[in-house]
Chain A
Amino acid sequence: QVQLQESGPGLVKPSETLSLTCTVTGGSVSSYYWTWIRQPPGRGLEWIGYIYNTGSTIYNPSLKSRVTISIDTSKNQFSLKLSSVTAADTAVYYCAREVNELFDYWGQGTLVTVSS
């Protein structure tokens, strides 16, 4: 059974960089696409972007200038960095696997609050 677990600081100061890691167990990040999705409080789901095992990435144009997704196949992890954060970036951040265009496995999500 594939499992994903997000980790990282739950509080980030405005203008700083949000950094999260997703650890995958029961499967390998050397296959499929690995995705970050977020949900601001009281709002809907927003796709941030994904990475393939080759390191190729596609980002949401709305966030592209601030987002970096990377992958570490040796640790079976992938990561998200979002720079210059504001209160609007406060959200539950999910990592997920995309197989045949479908998000089939998700992490439990982690709340990141942007506040001084």
Chain B
Amino acid sequence: DIVMTQSPDSLAVSLGERATINCKSSPSVLYSSNKQNYLAWFQHKPGQPPKLLISWASTRESGVPDRFSGSGSGTDFTLTISSLQAEDVAIYYCQQYYNTPRTFGQGTKVEI
């Protein structure tokens, strides 16, 4: 199985400040034939299903605010919230879809 490890487990950020979440995969989720990273980011709020924010490591899904951005390649990835809003309080997960079983990071709780 591909192991996904996130850091930190939680972080507190002031409104309007930047939040940075890291995700490391072991092994790599970069598919050599098409140079794509099979890595997604989800936002999960209590009582709701997870919401897909970013796919292919850096492609923002339709309707996702542009304060959310993803970067990285191979084994190291980052989700950045450039200016934290109150509605961004949630747990964020990275997930690999390079192969099965699909696996998720343990989650990072973002608080104000």
Contact = CB atoms under 8 A, between A and B. Distances in A.
A113 B13 CA distance: 35
A58 B97 contact: no
B33 interface: no
Interface residue range, chain B: 20 to 34
A45 B100 CA distance: 14
Contacts, number: 47
**Interface of B: prevailing SS:** loop
B50 A47 contact: no
Given A104-B52, A107-B49, A109-B49, A47 B93 contact: no
A101 B49 contact: no
B104 A44 contact: yes
Contact of A46 (B42, B52, B104): B104
B18 to A, nearest CB: 24
Interface string B52-95: 10010000000000000000000000000000000000000101
B52 A102 contact: yes
Interface of B: 1, 38, 40, 42, 44, 48-50, 52, 55, 93, 95, 97, 100-107
Interface of A: 35, 44-47, 49, 58, 60-62, 94, 96, 101-104, 106-109
